[in-house]
Structure 1
């Protein structure tokens, strides 16, 4: 076993992991050959250690002078941070060596004394001069069959040989080539048009209220104070308290939810509007059966509708995803293949011809 002391604190026993067996016990001197140095990790402190064993015989399979003078002395000096710690620990070692027939006295090697301030560090390698490199980055394209990189480097070798005055500046070590993948012109034009269209839409759009809700009675808001939210995918949950049956419906709106909510309410009253949506058909079915029910609304996702620069409608795609993911009972599977209604407003037929 081995103990470590840091100032007035003593560590727990550390079990022995590797050693050569000597009968029923292990010798303390042999123990130092195989233990890991604890003091190497605690150099800033005054560290000492003690060993305990019930046998102090020395088992040595090598030359006595090599073990006694070199091995033990070197290991003990390395583990001791200074001469004082070495003397405290060497007493037991000297007694064990004497009883084992060795006429050797352990002495501290002052070259092994270490402190946190004067310990030697490996010399720093001199910094190498940074080479000035010029990079040529031709845009990569699959349609180009010419080996641009190989041809470019051949031109450097041809026009700037070693006997050229500019060879020190322009050579294969200072001129490098690296292909770069730049955005296509199509993407650049689309981004430019997107910025202009968004700016134009912002200028032409009427200012809307920043309030999330305009209900007179806030506790009666169908969407918990967020009825003015625009461009959302919503879900309606129809509950029948008598049977605890729950049916769901997923829809979307490009306007504010309150506008869509009022359209839903209007389809629940006159009978000629009962086929407006699958939700209205189900509500009319419950009304005809005199079944009490209640409807709860919630927002599933907020997305952008179709724009001419995006070429697709994330709002409609999100609705189709929610129908597939949540499997509402009132939606029809034909809704997954419906045409985007928001795209029609961007057709040329909806714009008036400019005067000539």
Structure 2
């Protein structure tokens, strides 16, 4: 399928200059107020303009010639038609004035006010936004070998487990994988931090861990917690890329600043399914609570029923946690019995074992294969 999306003014100009036609194109969130002449002359039959600022006469001209115009929605703290993933700097803009002034906090506030109001317009805006984010996420991950890293949001900076998760993220990134997490605090932040640290020498991560330990948890102050992360980014700019996929459904969990590309959703179910479905090179489950347990079986279910192709490798880390504290491993083994997914699941004693375990699972021969 050909890409018929225009996401920048430069792309718009190139298409108009080359063809004189916008027919069939989808133009997303491009400011076209200075392109009235082009909009009046180019063919627009079948074109769709999503959230593009346009002069009133341009809107009329486009619609008269068969184009559809979905105008920007005023007074929203987010853009439902966005064409790209979020960056940490965007979600945390105005952090110096307090976290409650940031677009992230204001979007959560809007969600809290509208999620149960029964207004079809509010639910439509959430759906359009989340679909646009999914489209941008797919574009970001084309050709990537994605390893999902799941784990609890309460894992504190300064702990040995946090440092271990960060080293895991760094190892995976250095091996050429794209690290994808739930995008929040705790184990998720640690894995994204590790990926961010991948291009630097090993000492950088140790120094970053020391700096972050001064603000161990977001629960005391989201502002201080986030500012400590941005201080690390300022000290070591241009770190390695990774993906965070958080949700405003869990608005009390702020997004971490180490995921360079953030796909933030309103609907948690869409977010959960999207994160796991895109983890095509394996999923690692660090110790966690209810959310991580849900993710384990959300991922196991399609593997259980899969009739074609190889199930996604799954590695659960920490025998004590997954066999005694929250005994998911015995149930997972029982589900996998006599099914192809049995060759794609493993229990690892520590994060250091994860890279080799993932490789072993990917190379394992499937029953009947």
Is the pair's TM-score, using the shorter chain for normalization, greater than 0.5?
no
- Larger % of strand: which? 1
Normalising by the smaller structure, the TM-score range is under 0.3
Which of the pair has the greater relative contact order for Cα pairs under 8 Å at 6+ separation?
A: 2
Higher helix share: 2
TM-score, normalising length from structure 2?
A: 0.17
TM-score of the two chains, using structure 1 as the length reference: 0.17
